[in-house]
Structure 1
Amino acid sequence: MRRISVIGGGLAGLTAAITAAEAGARVTLYEAHHTVGGRARTADAPYRTNEGPHALYYRGPHWTWLKRRHLLGPLAPIPPLEGSRFRFRREGRLRKVPPGAMLRLVRRREAPVDRDFHGWAEEIAGEAGARAAAHYSAVAIFHHDPGSLSAAFVQERLRRTTALPPEAHYPAGGWGSVVDRMTSMAWNLGVRIEIGSRVAELPRGGPVVVATSLPAARALLGDPSLTWHSGRTALLDLAVRQRRGDAFVVSDLDAPGWVERFSAGDASLAPAGEQLIQSQVPVAPGENKAVGIARAEELLDLGYPGWRDRTVWRREALAAGRTGAVDPPGSTWRDRPGVDRGDGVYLAGDQVAAPGVLSEVAFASAIEAVRLALPEGRPAAAA
């Protein structure tokens, strides 16, 4: 049996380990923390907040990969759009529909790679429509200025996030339930999982898949070229006492920002009588967490009246460089750090050269890494 080592036990690492074991390899997975899952971990009850990706996009490559292995599990029902109180902040007020000009950009021909989104979109939808579309797309970008990024990059995410029926789905019980099923499958396939094992040197005796963040991979491999653009996002999680009329989602079209009541579709995420609300507001370089939290509170004031008096639990964080890759004008996913690093070393994660939206990049790069590392096993992306 061919030996292969996987460093990192997040979504990319678990995907690589399972794919390699299915191809007949003897796999050892090293995870520095005492639990696997990486940013896909879900906090323990009573408030089951996700620490990483919040949605699983239908039709993405990882959807098929998980479903065929019975790893997808039950999904929380999505509240019907009619009556779900999906709201948009526009010109300082809550509205029920986005500007029609914004939606024209979804139906438009493929956007150019070498132009910034705002400049391209303004010619089609006007300045207000371009700004609203850029800010709405931030839910899948986590960047303070999506309009400055490649038009093709932003348009793809705009299409995915505005699709009807909605592409975004939520694993019941949070992402941790998916991680648990992936971990169990890895064990059953014979993967050796060593938790609490921080790797300082590459293991010998076979190919290695480095499925860590780019900064960690850069330090481990001593390769200063392992960098790419990402965002900084202020995160505010709340549990509030239930109240009729609370919004399901508030999408900020005046600036990038998103607030969602996750327990609307999955009551198991919070105790009875309480609602779990998670907010993400991108912040610019030079801005601190407090700036983003203040903007999140403005959205909460609009969509969740009286939330301060109803709050029973609160948590704040700043996600810096942990929000996936963003592509500036003139670049695509192919320009990011390549999967094959030479000498039997392969890279996987959400900021490397693989297609997809958010966590889809981690799945796609992990499968590609194993395909290159074990060509005789021929692991298939959707098999």
Structure 2
Amino acid sequence: MVDITVVGGGFAGLVAAITAAEAGARVTLHEAHRELGGRGRTSDGPYLTNEGPHALYNGGEPWGWLKQRKLLKPLAPLPPLEGARIRFHDEGKLRRTPPMALYRQVLRRDAPVDRDFLSWATDMGGERAARIAANYMGVATFHHAPGSLSAAFVQERLRRVGKLPPEAHYPKGGWGPLMNRLAHYATGLGVRIETGSRVDALPESRPVIVATSLESARSLLGDDTLTWPSGRTMLLDLAISTRRGDPFAISDLDRPGWIERFTAQDPSLAPEGEQLIQAQIPLGPKEKKADGVNRAELLLDRGFPGWRERTTWMRTAVANGRTGAVDLPGTTWRDRPAVDRGDGVFLAGDQVAAPGLLAEVSFASAVRAAQLATAVRPALR
């Protein structure tokens, strides 16, 4: 029986630990924080927030994997009436339906890897359609200029996010309960979980799965090649008193940005009579948090009348390099840092060489890392 160390107790680390334990390995998981979950942690009440939307997509591999292990539910379904309340900020106005050009772009296939999305989409459907589609993709790239990314990368995400009926679903109570279910399942398999346990040096003579941020992995492994582009996003969490007719979401088609009222599908995220909203505004290299806040407030002014007077709680933050990998023209997920680092060391996370959309990258890399780690025969590093 192989002994495996997992460093990091977020989604990737827990999936890796479970996969390795199911294959018969003895697994010890170390998490530096007192709580598991990583970026999947949900804040303590009364406002249950996550660092970003953290959706599960029913077209991705994690969905079936979680369902098979009875870890998927409970989910928070979006009532059809609420789903109809999405609004599109287009040319300075809120509209109930997106431009038809966006629908046409969603249906396109076979985008090239070596061209940027904006120029390719412009050739396909015109400049306006390309710009709208690129800005819409801020919700799935968290990047300030999605049009500058690989056409293949953006188009794949556009087709997934724009699919009807929607693929995205949310765990009830935020991602924290899902992380707790994963941890409970892991301990049931015999995984030893140590929280408040920082790993500063790799253990000898046993496979190690490093399931941390790429920045932390770079420091732990002393490997400066562990880099990959990611987004930088202003996150504004806001609680307001309930008002009938508030939109479910606002998609900014003039610039990348998204606002979502998460209590539309899960009222348990805020006290009764209040609504929990999150704005996600990608920031350019020279933009500050205040710039993102100003843009979010403009969208709130358009869609949530009187929101300032209705506000009961608010906080802002910047997620820098914590929103998953983005692929530039000429690159694909295969060009990202490899899962197998050699000498029994493996990487897992959302900026690693694995396919999928957002958290699906963490999942796929974690499963692959565990498969490779359990196949390692003991050897000194």
Q: 1:160-209: per-residue Cα shift (whole Å, max 9, x none)? A: 11100000001011111100100101111111111111111001231000
Alignment of 1:323-342 (within 5 A): 323-342=323-342
Mapped partners of 1:11, 1:224: distance in 2? 24
SS in 1 for 2:325: coil
Q: Which residue of 2 aligns with 1:373?
A: 373
For residue 73 of structure 1, what is the aligned residue in structure 2? 73
Alpha-carbon RMSD: 1.2
Per the alignment, residue 182 of structure 1 pairs with 182
User: Alpha-carbon deviation of 1:124?
Assistant: 1.7
Q: In the TM superposition, what is the alpha-carbon distance from 1:81 to its structure 2 partner?
A: 6.1
> Quick one: which amino acid aligns to residue 152 of structure 1?
A
1:372 deviation in Å?
1.0
> CA 1:2 to 1:82, structure 2 compared with 1: closer, same or farther past 3 Å?
closer
**C-alpha contact (below 8 Å) 1:40/1:53 kept by paired residues:** no
Amino acid at match of 2:339: V
Distance in 2 of aligned mates of 1:12 and 1:83: 30
Shift of 1:53: 4.4
1:277 alignment partner AA: I
1:305 matched to which residue of 2? 305
Say if 1:22 and 1:189, in contact at 8 Å, map to a contact too.
yes
Change (3 A) 1:71 1:260: same
One-letter code aligned to 1:186 = A
In the alignment, what sits opposite 1:214? 214
Q: Deviations over 1:39-58 (max 9, x none)?
A: 00111221011124421111
1:320-373 deviation per Cα after TM superposition (whole angstroms, max 9, x unaligned): 010100000000000000000000000000000000000000000000001111
Distance 2:318 2:333 in 1: 25
Once residues 221 and 110 of structure 1 are traced to their aligned partners in structure 2, the CA distance between those partners, rounded to angstroms, is 37
The total of aligned residue pairs comes to 377
Q: How does 1:1-383 map to 2 (within 5 A)?
A: 1-80=1-80, 84-375=84-375
CA distance in 2: counterparts of 1:120 and 1:105, whole angstroms: 11
Give 1:214's aligned amino acid.
L
SS at match of 1:171: coil
- How many angstroms apart in 1 are the aligned matches of 2:362 and 2:133? 26
Greater CA drift, 199-208 or 145-154: 199-208
CA distance in structure 2 between the aligned counterparts of 1:67 and 1:38, rounded to whole angstroms: 22
CA change 1:12–1:57 in 2 (3 A) is same
CA distance in 1, matches of 2:79, 2:351: 31
Q: What corresponds to 1:380 in structure 2?
A: none
CA distance in 2, matches of 1:302, 1:226: 42
Q: Is the 8 A contact 1:134 1:147 kept in 2?
A: yes
What SS does structure 1 have at the residue aligned with 2:170? strand
AA of the residue aligned to 2:333:
W
Q: Give how far 1:119 is off.
A: 0.1
Deviations 1:26-80 (A, max 9, x none): 0000101000100001112210111244211111011111111111111111132
Q: What's the CA shift for 1:84? A: 3.0
Unaligned runs of 5+ residues in structure 2 are none
Write the deviation string for residues 249-272 of structure 1: whole angstroms up to 9, x where unpaired: 000000000000000111100111
Alpha-carbon deviation of 1:286? 1.4
Deviation at 1:376, TM superposition (A): 8.1
Residues 344 and 376 in structure 2, CA contact (< 8 A), matched pair in contact too: no
Unaligned runs of 5+ in 1: 378-383
Scaled by the length of structure 1, the TM-score of the pair is 0.97
Q: Distance in 2 between matches of 1:157 and 1:180?
A: 28
Q: Aligned equivalents of 2:148 and 2:206: distance in 1?
A: 42
- 2:238–2:276 CA contact under 8 A, matched in 1: yes
- SS of residue matched to 1:240: strand
Distance (Å, rounded) in 2 between the aligned partners of 1:129 and 1:81: 28
Q: Alignment partner of 1:322: what SS?
A: strand
Q: Distance in 2 between matches of 1:109 and 1:31?
A: 41
Q: How does the TM-score come out when normalised to structure 2?
A: 0.97
After TM superposition, the runs of 4+ consecutive aligned structure 1 residues lying more than 4 A away are: none
Which amino acid in the other structure matches residue 76 of structure 2? Answer: A
Distance in structure 2 (CA, Å) of the matches to 1:302 and 1:319: 25
- Structure 1 304/47 Cα, relative in aligned 2: closer, same or farther at 3 Å? same
Identity of aligned residues (%): 67
